[in-house]
């Protein structure tokens, strides 16, 4: 039961926790790292790693989507991003990378004014499909009805409908909103949808028939949603609440399991582990993979919210470069900050806590132990 605190005489608030507020507790039993499994299956697709790469142009190009797939995860391409607006986005990427900090947002807005071209959606997805990896593409809720047919005909395996906040019940007097339940029911492709941060919103999305739910607002390292809109939910509480919705929906539906994917504030291996401990089946990585040498952002990171024409809710952030995509996911590591060998760290935590796989790790004991950033805290 969440604890309420009094803000003032007329307002009470729920106490919520971030990943930095919690830690896992070692168990009485340990096991060898060779005896643990980190594979993940969503719908018909089994992958070696519980990782989806975030559909952000600083992270995913067709080439890096293929790379992540070959490394064991699922790369999700933004189907409203630069690769579907430009035949060759090299110049556009360079403009973003070279922009003065004071003009970075306006440059993003200018670059993304080019229209999305359906033929490029087909071309990019066909390129990924030819590699043999799981093909995943993202559309925003606002553009799904316009482009979904092109996406499906191109042969996508997994469709991701992703926005900062997505609900099953959107009210609009201007346009007919996307009816998620009808859309998902009529589609032959599994759909992952989000983000959500609360039990009730997640439960309603699960009832639409989604294969997975994204938890969070996405773009944690490059998001200014809290500053601009005043909206925020710490991720440990958000994931745990949505995992609770998954449990209750499993009973309500007679056994239908919906995957919970932590999307946002998963910046290092410790965050990956804690997201799963709170109930996530997998994580969606943005900034963590934007630090790869192969990432299109070249050490910079930005999301879809940063390019909004009238109200940007994100920014271009400098995340630097720490290693190759392979080193970030599977090691080896020469750094002690959790930015390399994320899956090696997950395996080590499984071994240390005695659990055999990711699903079992959701049962691990956690404690409140706010992290200050100092050694040993």
**Pick the residue with more confidence: 2 or 358?**
358
pLDDT at 158 over 50: yes
147/129 Cα distance (integer angstroms)? 18
User: Which CATH architecture does the domain made up of 4-368 adopt?
Assistant: Alpha-Beta Barrel (3.20)
Q: 24: which strand partners?
A: 366
Q: Where are the beta strands (DSSP E) in 33-188?
A: 40-42, 45-47, 51-53, 74-78, 136-139, 158-162
**Mean pLDDT, residues 230-235 taken together:** 93
Average pLDDT of the chain? 94
- Both tokens assigned to 289: 């993979």
pTM score, two decimals? 0.95
pLDDT at 376 over 60: no
Q: So what's the pLDDT on residue 82?
A: 99
Q: So what's the pLDDT on residue 341?
A: 99
- Indicate the SS3 state at residue 212: strand
Percent of the chain whose predicted confidence (pLDDT) is above 70: 94
- Both tokens assigned to 112: 């993304």
Q: What is the pLDDT of residues 96-128, one digit of tens each?
A: 999 999 999 999 999 999 999 999 999 999 999
Instruction: Find tokens 């309420």 and name the residue.
Output: 4
Lowest average pLDDT, out of 37-41, 78-82, 285-289, 304-308, goes to 304-308
Could you write out the DSSP letters of every residue in 106-117? HHHHHHTTSPP-
**Mean pLDDT, residues 144-157 taken together:** 96
Instruction: Find tokens 């995992």 and name the residue.
Output: 243
Q: Containing H/E element for 41? A: strand 40-42
Q: What is the largest CA-CA distance in the chain?
A: 62
**Cα–Cα nearest to 339, from 262, 264, 267:** 267
Q: So what's the pLDDT on residue 274?
A: 99
pLDDT category of residue 368 using cuts at 50, 70 and 90: very high
Cβ neighbourhood burial of 88 (10 Å; 0-12, 13-18, 19+): exposed
Q: So what's the pLDDT on residue 218?
A: 63
**Mean pLDDT, residues 229-251 taken together:** 97
Percent of the chain whose predicted confidence (pLDDT) is above 90: 87
Is the CB of residue 309 less than 8 Å from the CB of residue 109? yes
What are the backbone dihedrals phi and psi of residue 124, each rounded to the nearest 5 degrees, phi first?
-70, -45
pLDDT category of residue 59 using cuts at 50, 70 and 90: very high
Is the CB of residue 59 less than 8 Å from the CB of residue 53? yes
Q: So what's the pLDDT on residue 165?
A: 67
196/306 Cα distance (integer angstroms)? 19
Torsion, Cα 81 165 316 67, to 10 degrees, reads: -50
Q: So what's the pLDDT on residue 171?
A: 43
**Cα–Cα nearest to 263, from 222, 303, 216, 306:** 216
Is the CB of residue 279 less than 8 Å from the CB of residue 362? yes
pLDDT at 186 over 80: yes
Q: Where in the chain are the domains?
A: 4-368
| C-alpha dist (Å) from residue 166 to 102, 202, 204, 242 | 31, 9, 11, 14
Q: So what's the pLDDT on residue 54?
A: 97
154/137 Cα distance (integer angstroms)? 10
């Amino acid at each position: 039961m969440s604890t309420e605190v009094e803000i003032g005489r007329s307002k009470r608030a729920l106490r919520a926790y971030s990943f930095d507020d919690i830690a896992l507790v070692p168990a009485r039993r340990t096991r060898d790292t060779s005896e643990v499994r980190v594979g993940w299956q969503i719908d018909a697709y089994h992958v070696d790693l519980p990782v989806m790469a975030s559909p952000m142009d600083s992270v995913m190009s067709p080439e890096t989507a293929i790379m992540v797939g070959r490394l064991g995860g699922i790369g999700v391409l933004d189907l409203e991003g630069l690769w579907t607006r430009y035949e060759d986005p090299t110049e556009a990427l360079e403009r973003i990378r070279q922009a003065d900090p004071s003009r970075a947002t306006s440059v993003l807005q200018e670059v993304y004014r080019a229209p999305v071209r359906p033929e490029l959606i087909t071309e990019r997805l066909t390129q990924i499909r030819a590699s043999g990896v799981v093909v995943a593409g993202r559309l925003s809720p606002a553009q799904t009805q316009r482009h979904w047919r092109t996406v499906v005909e191109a042969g996508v395996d997994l469709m991701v409908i992703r926005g900062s906040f997505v609900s099953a019940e959107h009210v609009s007097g201007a346009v007919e909103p996307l009816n998620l339940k009808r859309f998902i029911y009529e589609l032959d492709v599994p759909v992952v949808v989000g983000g959500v941060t609360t039990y009730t919103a997640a439960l309603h999305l699960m009832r639409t028939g989604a294969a997975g739910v994204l938890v969070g607002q996405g773009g944690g390292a490059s998001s200014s949603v809290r500053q601009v809109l005043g909206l925020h939910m710490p991720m440990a509480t958000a994931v745990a609440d949505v995992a609770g919705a998954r449990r209750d929906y499993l009973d309500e539906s007679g056994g239908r399991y919906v995957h919970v994917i932590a999307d946002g504030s998963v910046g290092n291996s410790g965050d990956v582990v804690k997201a799963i401990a709170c109930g996530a089946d997998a994580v969606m990585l943005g900034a963590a993979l934007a630090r790869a040498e192969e990432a299109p952002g070249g050490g910079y990171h930005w999301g879809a919210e940063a390019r909004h024409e009238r109200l940007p809710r994100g920014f271009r952030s400098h995340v630097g470069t720490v290693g190759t995509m392979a080193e970030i996911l599977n090691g080896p590591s020469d750094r002690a900050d959790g930015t390399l060998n994320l899956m090696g760290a997950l395996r080590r935590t499984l071994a240390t806590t005695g659990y055999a796989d990711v699903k079992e790790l959701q049962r691990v004991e956690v404690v409140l132990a706010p992290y200050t950033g100092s050694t040993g805290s």
